[in-house]
Amino acid sequence: MTLKSIIGSALSCALLFSACKKDDPPLPDNLVQFETAAQGIADGVKELDVKVKLSRATSVAGTVELQLTEDGVVYGTDYTTEPAASSNKINVPVAAGATEAVVKIKIATAATLLGSESITFKINTVPADLVIGTISEIKVSFSTILSTGAKDFVMNGKTDASPYFNTVYVDLSNNQSTLAARNSWNLGFYNGTEYRVVLNPHYQTTVKALTKTDITAVGFADTVDVLLDHNISDPTTASLVDNWDGAITKTAIAEVSATDSENKVYLLGFEGNKSPKSKYYKLKVSRTATGYRLQYALVGETTINTLEIPKNSSYNHTFVSVESKKIVTVEPKKTEWDIQWGYSTYNSGLGSPYWFQDYISINNLAGVQAAEVLNSKVTYENFKESDIAGTTFLSTRDAIGSKWRVTSGAEVGIRGDRFYVVKDAGGNYYKLKFVKMGLAGDLGERGKPVIDYVLVKKA
């Protein structure tokens, strides 16, 4: 064969291959559906987000129309929504590039509800490039529910400011998440029988005790030998933070004594105020007949602020921001959350504190427990009630911690060889696995981890 004929044959084959090459397969339908089929509104909650989820980001803006059906409540009297409803319909805008849209339910202040009321949303119409998915209806009860589980539940802590701006609290049995800005508080005052003060683990919070007990006698000179920043190579800096296992007896601030002369003054640091030292706060905590008294000020100030903080047994802690000088709302009631996602203090591996993104805490102070199960023992799909007896549960806050993912090294992403079983404070057992987190091409987004969970055993 001549060189010319060889080249001709090669060109013919190339043209033939090009002509016969199949087009890329079409993308699957972009489904629009609710995050869950049922959701509850816990007692005292005045706002609830109902999420309409998309399989992937939509390329064009559009509107999803929802049909609204009431049972025992009246729009405008007992509740309203954002966007507003008209003629029992809600037009929910979906922005180009969005993967979800939200309807906010707002309970009227004067509403008197029995708990048997509910509203149902149904997806009526969607833009032409979207398809209605299988969870096309959601029933929202004006009371707590017992969820049988949820699929592709998103713990969305991300904002434009940061992928971990918020801490996310999840109530598995109620299919509900609650957000709190991670920098919205500095100190938490324990509402149990002991008198303990916790630090905000999401805000790089540290303290150091001084020998002085009179806060008015503390000034810049007391900061000379104090460094409130952690040193990852120095395990002794663990004394600057609360223990990451969450034991209320292992707080960096000693238990508040009934004898006030025994309560020391502490220097307080947190993300953004550790340099220069003039940004340090000084604080002293005392007992009162109803709870706590907090005295605090910037270290160089002579005017001392005082806050009275009564105990409230409905919550694990009452939270205070020394920056905004007030008591703030952070966690839901202690019986209304099970796990928490966010940026948090943990063990560096050397015994020193280190701040982790994508950290999972359990509500150990309310009795929540969790167990890690390896797929080599039993798979997530096959785990059933009879497997609970052979599973070891932990009561420490870090029972899940950072073990569910790897964020550096050769193999980053969710560890697919394990899942978790969570026993909530009510005695219900849920199996839970992590689905997406925005690493290793899992199609997720950092700051919006996705979980599946299923009720395994009802209390």
Measured distance CA(366)–CA(355) in Å, rounded? 24
- Please identify, among 304, 328, 352, the residue that sits at the C-terminal boundary of a domain: 328
Instruction: Indicate whether 132 and 208 sit together in one domain.
Output: no
Instruction: Indicate whether 383 and 291 sit together in one domain.
Output: no
Kindly give the confidence (pLDDT) of every residue in the chain, 459 residues in length, as a single tens digit, with 9 standing for 90 and above: 444 444 444 444 444 444 444 566 778 899 999 989 999 998 888 899 999 999 888 989 999 999 999 999 999 999 999 999 999 999 999 999 998 999 999 999 999 899 999 999 999 999 999 999 999 999 999 999 999 999 999 999 999 999 999 999 999 999 999 999 999 999 999 999 999 999 999 999 999 999 999 999 999 999 999 999 877 789 999 999 999 999 999 999 999 999 999 999 999 999 989 889 999 999 999 999 999 999 999 999 999 999 999 999 999 999 999 999 999 999 999 999 999 999 999 999 999 999 999 999 999 999 999 999 999 999 999 999 999 999 999 999 999 999 999 998 888 999 999 999 999 999 999 999 999 999 999 989 999 999 999 999 999
Domain of residue 412 covers 339-457
Q: Is residue 362 part of a domain?
A: yes
Contact 210, 267 (CB under 8 A): yes
Instruction: Indicate whether 350 and 320 sit together in one domain.
Output: no
- Please identify, among 328, 359, 391, the residue that sits at the C-terminal boundary of a domain: 328
Element (H, E) at 6: helix 3-20
Instruction: Indicate whether 37 and 139 sit together in one domain.
Output: yes
What is the distance in angstroms between the CA of the first residue and the CA of the last residue of the chain? 82
**pTM of this structure:** 0.88
Instruction: Indicate whether 116 and 211 sit together in one domain.
Output: no
Instruction: Output phi, psi for 8, to 5 deg.
Output: -65, -45
Q: Is residue 412 part of a domain?
A: yes
SS3 329: coil
Query: Tokens 């409803």 sit at which residue?
Result: 85
Number of domain units in the chain? 3
Contact 388, 377 (CB under 8 A): no
Query: Tokens 């009561």 sit at which residue?
Result: 395
Q: Is residue 66 part of a domain?
A: yes
Per-residue burial over 22-38, b if 16 or more Cβ lie within 10 Å, else e, is eeeeeeeebbbbbbbbb
Measured distance CA(418)–CA(372) in Å, rounded? 7
Q: Which of 443, 440, 394, 444 is nearest to 420 (CA)?
A: 394
